[in-house]
Structure 1
């Protein structure tokens, strides 16, 4: 199921793909531009301001469509849509009414902030944020080393925090909270336009209305399937664009054409399977199959991008000749590092990750 972007949006993404990859000058434009074309309402019930007659599958394929043009833009889309899914898990909470309209309209950015929590629940690392109860809420302290979609003009971030003598919980922090300090943008090799930075939390007080989930483990179990499905859509989009470039090449040989068509089929089939597993609840209690599919789709993405590189040949190494080909190769190498990383998922499954060969 393909999602067709508005031609004006596709043109904007094409023009901004390299700038968003290499600088943060246009980062603040991405979320409003995607919101202008109503992408954040896909799969959100119309009752809560979403797009009528849209569904979860359409949201996944829309992220794929954006990723075909720019991973930086799609990465911001992924973070925003994940955060929206957090609020929809319990729409009766005050936070949904407070934040959802501005998230859907692109006036506010939402950051997932849960990579540390996912690693913690997998036994990889300790929680880096702690919450101490106060008379009217909680005081949070800690550090988030890598958070995307934290726009300088205003954001809200979901944070997992360890509590004394209680299970970890999920809190919401705002960019204007006293004690929350967004650091300067990380100097990334790509995705410069994704508003990615570290966040330091020092004596940040929040009221009980900012408690999004009392049990972090149960919350993450619920949000993990859409979180990973949206994440896989990033790889699918980058890969499908590479394969389109291969199949359109004027000197395409039969072997590369056959390989490209085979990869297209595998990518679409795998993503469709991921969507089905999310919709029927199969990945809630048994997430290991989803982990394996995430590893596989990252591998397929690398294979597709290397196939594009090989098809283009030496021109890719001439300055200014194949900048988008090289951008997609960088993106394919980056995607396995997004939390939960392929390495962490592989540890969960105790299976090796095979690097792509095209």
Structure 2
């Protein structure tokens, strides 16, 4: 059981003190007031909306799912909904919120209470920001890639070397989760939190994206970077990974839910000017609304027991995530068709949502990895 951590009342905003409804109301207000006007700059200029991301944290967006915080059981649904509200406007920001949620999920599920006490409060309220760093490890665990980080044991910790090519929601003062192998020690794998400003750590932008450019996605280089034992999440990772896996996947429902809602809204906006011809399209917004409601019900049921063991539960989590990515792409495709030329211009919301939606299908675990995972489990 994760020990309780209580933040001082001064660190809890009025929205947090009002509970889930207060958190979500405040998140929606911030999304409308601050995020919506920045969407074009985020998409075209690669703006990283750091102040808005931190404001969401102050409102409580990154804390509801954290086990043991204020003595609570993890409430993934509120954290998912906070992401979804932002995702109605901008998938980049919703994705950064998921990165932040994942970092907190790692820390609060670790038995390293000193690390939780050091970084946990700041991560929970958005004062400390960071990324997940698990794209490569997640692929390596399922035989898709080789683990890219290796380490040697040194006094007081590990010296880590290697390069992670894609890690998001980063900056010089940010943190990220990492997994590294320790050759010569049974090739065990260890998970830890790395400091982007730490000695031997360097973040480098090496590509530009067709969407999600405002997510501060970098390659992270480790050159004998010292990771102290005080920053280790699990050593070894064997029992820890199953504990965090379902929550890691389920929290991504926030991104896809927001994306689908935004696309439904675009289709509905076209009812008045183009309804006389859009009615001939086979896929209508009402059908997506019904599908989304069913998906949310499934996710809520699964999210109520994120530590449930067993293959059957994991299969259902994977299937829910697979459906979410596929429906997000379908919804964005149909939003484009409903908007027509109005969505095909450089400032058009529909073409932006379509570009964003493909990220829902390729972010780890991607559609193809999810299908492989099901096949490996005998559930394809």
Task: Give the structure-1-normalised TM-score.
Answer: 0.89
The DSSP-based 3-state class of the residue aligned with 1:41 is: coil
Aligned partner of 1:102 in structure 2 is 122
Instruction: State the distance in 1 between where 2:156 and 2:78 align.
Output: 41
Q: Where does 1:141-152 land on structure 2 (aligned, <5 Å)?
A: 141-152=161-172
Map residues 63-82 of structure 1 onto 2, 5 A cutoff.
63-82=83-102
Mark the CA change 1:149 to 1:270 in structure 2 (over 3 Å): closer, same or farther: same
- 2:262 alignment counterpart: 241
Give the secondary-structure state (helix, strand or coil) at the position aligned to 2:252: helix
- 2:55 is matched with 33
Q: CA deviation at 1:255?
A: 5.7
Q: How does 1:1-358 map to 2 (within 5 A)?
A: 3-4=24-25, 5-44=27-66, 48=69, 55-90=75-110, 93-152=113-172, 154-164=173-183, 165-166=185-186, 167-184=188-205, 186-249=207-270, 250=272, 251-252=274-275, 253-254=278-279, 259-281=284-306, 284-286=309-311, 287-320=314-347, 323-350=348-375
Aligned counterparts of 1:25 and 1:205: Cα–Cα separation in 2:
31
What displacement does 1:339 show? 0.9
Match of 2:15 in 1: none
Say which is worse superposed, 209-218 or 73-82, in terms of deviation.
Answer: 209-218
The aligned length equals 346
1:18/1:324 contact within 8 Å kept: no
- Quickly say closer, same or farther: Cα 1:92–1:71, change in 2 above 3 A: same
Given that 1:283 and 1:289 are in contact with CA atoms closer than 8 Å, whether structure 2 keeps it comes out as no
Contact 2:256 2:328 in 1 (8 A): yes
Segments of 5+ residues of structure 1 without an aligned counterpart are 352-358
Q: Give the Cα separation in 2 of the matches to 1:270 and 1:197.
A: 32
8 Å contact 1:247–1:257 — kept in the other structure? no
**Could you tell me whether the CA contact under 8 Å between 1:226 and 1:278 is conserved in 2?**
yes
Structure-1 separation of matches of 2:109 and 2:96: 20
The CA distance in 2 between the partners of 1:90 and 1:316, in whole Å, is 45
Q: Is the 8 A contact 1:118 1:220 kept in 2?
A: no
Report deviation, 1:248: 3.1
Q: In 1, Cα distance between the equivalents of 2:226 and 2:323?
A: 42
How far off is 1:256 after superposition? 5.5
Q: Which runs of 5+ in 2 are unaligned?
A: 1-19
